[in-house]
Amino acid sequence: MRGYLHFIIGIAFILIAGGCAGEVTNEVPSRNPDLISIARENGFTVSPVSRNEKSYLKRVIPESSILRSIVILKKESDLGSDIDRVASAYWFRSTHADILMKTLTSQMFDLLSANVENLIDEDLHREGYATIDMLAFNDPALSEERIIFVQIRDELYEFHTLVDKEELVMGLVLEVAYKRDI
């Protein structure tokens, strides 16, 4: 499994090289660009998430935080006009993101079925990047898509993506981690 993770991280590094709701009363201020800005800077477009999609982050989000959500889209090629869905993304900011990630990880392990595949639960450290705490898995009992949870500093992210789009998601995750270390 570590080989698979290193392959995905390697591809992501290659790629990098070349709806709000409610009031915020305790959200941590940030001078860093958010996921929407980073996605757009990297050639993605965004649209709203369907009401039919669900986020597991709702299990741990503090009442004082806003759960943001987008669908990340990318043109299939520069010549084509077809736009592919890369992932749905959910995130929020909290001073307790590290504790909430541990809580979420524990809750998700309780939900995983015997059919879970490609489970990754580890911290990723790279010089010049903020630490990434990641939980990722495929579990057909929970979703047809790969589910990836990431904690970077004071933010918790959730992505739902197809396996063939995972490298694009990891590229965005690494870009966020890079911008959070500046």
The residue extents of the domains of the chain are 2-180
What mean pLDDT is predicted for residues 130-158? 97
Residue 118, phi-psi category: left (phi > 0), alpha (psi -120 to 50), beta (remainder): left
The SS3 of residue 93 is strand
Residue, of 7 and 129, whose pLDDT is higher:
129
What is the model's pLDDT at position 23? 30
What is the model's pLDDT at position 10? 45
The SS3 of residue 147 is strand
What is the model's pLDDT at position 67? 95
CA of residue 35 relative to chain centroid, distance: 9
* C-alpha to C-alpha distance for 125 and 133, rounded to whole angstroms: 9
Distances in Å between the alpha carbon of 78 and those of 14, 16, 82?
19, 18, 10
Report whether CATH 3.40.1000.20 matches the domain 2-180.
Answer: yes
Q: φ and ψ at 176, to 5 degrees?
A: -60, -45
Q: What confidence tens digit (pLDDT) does each residue in 51-109 have?
A: 899 999 999 999 999 999 999 999 876 555 668 899 999 999 999 999 999 999 999 99
Q: What confidence tens digit (pLDDT) does each residue in 12-61 have?
A: 433 333 333 333 333 444 456 789 999 999 999 999 999 899 999 999 99
Buried b (16+ CB within 10 A) or exposed e, 12-32: beebbeeeeeeeeeebeeeeb
pTM more than 0.75: yes
What is the model's pLDDT at position 181? 67
Whether 163 has a pLDDT exceeding 70, the answer reads yes
Considering only the C-alpha atoms of the chain, give the largest distance between any 2 of them, rounded to a whole number of Å: 45
What is the model's pLDDT at position 31? 53
What is the model's pLDDT at position 33? 75
